[in-house]
Amino acid sequence: EAARATLAVAREYRPVRGRLDLSVDGDALVVEVSPAPDRVISDAQNRTTLPGVRVRGEDDPATGDRAADEAFDGLGATFDMYWDAFRRASIDGVGGTMAATVHYGVDYDNAFWNGERMVFGDGDGEVFAGFTRSVTVIAHELSHGVIENAGGLEYTGQSGALNESIADVFGALTEQHLQGQSVDEASWLIGAGIFTDAVQGTALRSMSAPGTAYDDDVLGRDPQPGHMADYVETTEDNGGVHINSGIPNRAFHLAAMALGGHAWERAGRIWYLTLTGGRLSPRSDFAAFAAATRATAAEEYGEDSEEAAAVRDAWTGVGVIE
């Protein structure tokens, strides 16, 4: 029976690129799977045609091009976090190729997921120094792919802000996992290091203190709220998806801090299982997501668990539930 169970595991993971270790324990066959990432980096050579020229595959040496090598390493770190923390193999969950294009456009001040690949600009050199410089940004973009694969969250209003927030959560978790940081050691910043020295700001967003990532003559003040009382009604940016994401971002930070240790182990696990567990719909709003995280925590750890209480208090703390 044990052998049959492990055989089922082996079958399920057959498409995954990586290593399959077989051993025998008593009369049971033990199957251990260590999937490996499959990365392809392309160079748009400052044009906007995708994918651009392939410059590095999984078995190739470093290119010497900073953006290409940062993208390659960042995808690796993101792959490792998803596998180690959640036993998810890649964007599609079955070890599929992770594709990225660097040097997109001229002075392009952004990075994005286009439904197939991650795309990174070099920045204008005035405000932004290059979007591959922070692993949080790389993991954020890859996570848009994971979210899409998990059923998606419509990129408008509260569901859009949740999409943004979940991408930030896994972005921060990737950096913390890479550095081995506990919740107290982590910066909880998204995009630290992508600004030039001309900007006083430290990062694009702060999950622990939304609205404080920058306050600068160049960029103005960070507009993110951290509580429903400050929710921003706007028609810009698909209804403020990068602004109101501050509220669920701070909820995650509160839950993670209450639990302590490594954020990916419990708070992150609850968020990941909520994303993939079938309790969401593409139009879920903050309240629906809060309810789903609470149900996930109760199912995984028990109704009266520390984890369930931490999640409830987090959403109360940002005013999403009473």
Q: Which residues bind ligand ASN (CB under 6 A)?
A: 110-112, 140-141, 144, 164
Residue nearest to ligand ASN according to CB distances in the complex: 112
C-alpha dihedral sign at 205, 93, 271, 229:
positive
For ligand ASN, the closer of residues 162 and 311 by Cβ is 162
d(CA 210, CA 164): 14
Q: What would you report as the CA-atom Rg of the chain, rounded to the nearest whole angstrom? A: 20
For ligand ASN, the closer of residues 35 and 123 by Cβ is 123
Asked whether position 172 contacts Zn ion by CB under 5 A, the answer is no
Nearest to 138 by CA among 213, 69, 240: 69
For ligand ASN, the closer of residues 36 and 199 by Cβ is 199
For Zn ion, the closer of residues 38 and 164 by Cβ is 164
Number of residues that bind Zn ion (CB under 5 A): 2
Does residue 51 contact residue 101 with C-beta atoms inside 8 Å? yes
d(CA 250, CA 136): 16
Which residue type is seen at 110? N
153: partner contacted, choices ligand ASN, Zn ion, none (Cβ within 5-8 A by kind): none
CB of 238 to ligand ASN, least distance (A): 8
d(CA 118, CA 131): 11
Interface with Zn ion by CB under 5 A: which range of 129-137, 165-173, 201-209, 222-230?
Answer: 165-173
**Member of 40, 135, 139, 167 binding Zn ion (CB under 5 A):** 167
d(CA 315, CA 322): 8
Q: What secondary structure does DSSP assign to 96-117, as a single string?
A: --EEEEEEESSS---EEE-SS-
CB of 204 to ligand ASN, least distance (A): 9
CB of 237 to Zn ion, least distance (A): 11
CB of 148 to Zn ion, least distance (A): 11
CB of 167 to ligand ASN, least distance (A): 6
d(CA 252, CA 181): 16
138: partner contacted, choices ligand ASN, Zn ion, none (Cβ within 5-8 A by kind): none
Nearest to 320 by CA among 155, 162, 151, 147: 162
Nearest to 182 by CA among 290, 89, 308, 267: 267
d(CA 226, CA 223): 10
Q: What DSSP character marks residue 66?
A: H
Interface with Zn ion by CB under 5 A: which range of 7-15, 156-164, 179-187, 291-299?
Answer: 156-164
- 216 contact partners, CB below 8 Å, separation of at least 6: 199, 200, 201
CB of 141 to ligand ASN, least distance (A): 6
Catalytic residue numbers? 141, 242
Residue nearest to Zn ion according to CB distances in the complex: 167
For Zn ion, the closer of residues 172 and 311 by Cβ is 172
Q: Which two tokens stand for residue 10?
A: 């082996």
For ligand ASN, the closer of residues 191 and 226 by Cβ is 191
Which positions touch Zn ion (CB under 5 A)?
164, 167
